[in-house]
Structure 1
Amino acid sequence: MSFSAYARQVRDPALPQRRRVSALRSCVQLYRPIGFHATLSLLEELAGPFQRDEAALLRALDALVASRHARRAEFRRYAAARSAAKRRGQRSPRPDDPNPHRLRGYWHGAPRQGALHALAFWRRERRRALLPSLDPVEARVDSCVNACLAAGGALTAAQRQLLATAVDALDERLRPEVWRDDPVAWFRTRDLLQVARFVEVAAGAA
Structure 2
Amino acid sequence: MSFGTYARKVRDRSLPYGLRVSALRSCVQLYRPIGFHATLAFLEEIAGPFQRDEAALLKALGAIEASRAQWHADMRDYAHRRRQAKRRGQRIPPAEDRNPNGFPPIWYGAARSAALSALRYWSRRRLPSLRVTADSVGNTLDVLVTATLSSGGDLTSEQRQLLALAVAELDGRMQPDLWADDPVAHRRARELLKVARLVETASDDGQPQASTVG
- TM tier, shorter chain? over 0.9
- Is 1:133 the counterpart of 2:137? The answer is no
Change (3 A) 1:21 1:103: closer
Higher alpha-carbon deviation: 10-19 or 196-205: 196-205
Aligned partner of 2:49: which letter? P
CA distance in 2, matches of 1:18, 1:99: 37
Higher alpha-carbon deviation: 94-103 or 3-12: 94-103
Question: 1:17 offset after TM fit, Å?
Answer: 0.6
CA distance in 1, matches of 2:103, 2:21: 28
CA distance in 2, matches of 1:156, 1:134: 25
Question: 1:99 offset after TM fit, Å?
Answer: 2.4
Deviation per CA, 1:146-177, whole angstroms, max 9, x where unpaired? Answer: 11111111211111110111111112222323
Pairing 1:90-109 to 2, within 5 Å after superposition: 90-101=90-101, 105-109=105-109
Change (3 A) 1:134 1:118: farther
After TM superposition, the runs of 4+ consecutive aligned structure 1 residues lying more than 4 A away are: 102-105
- Mapped contact 2:47–2:56 kept (Cα < 8 A): yes
Match of 1:181, SS state, is coil
- Mapped contact 1:50–1:56 kept (Cα < 8 A): yes
Aligned to 2:63: 63
Change (3 A) 1:109 1:4: same
Structure 1: runs of 5+ lacking an equivalent: none
Question: 1:140 offset after TM fit, Å?
Answer: 1.1
Higher RCO (C-alpha 8 Å, min separation 6):
2
Change (3 A) 1:136 1:67: same
- Mapped contact 1:105–1:115 kept (Cα < 8 A): no
Aligned to 1:200: 200
The TM-score, its normalising length taken from structure 2, stands at 0.91
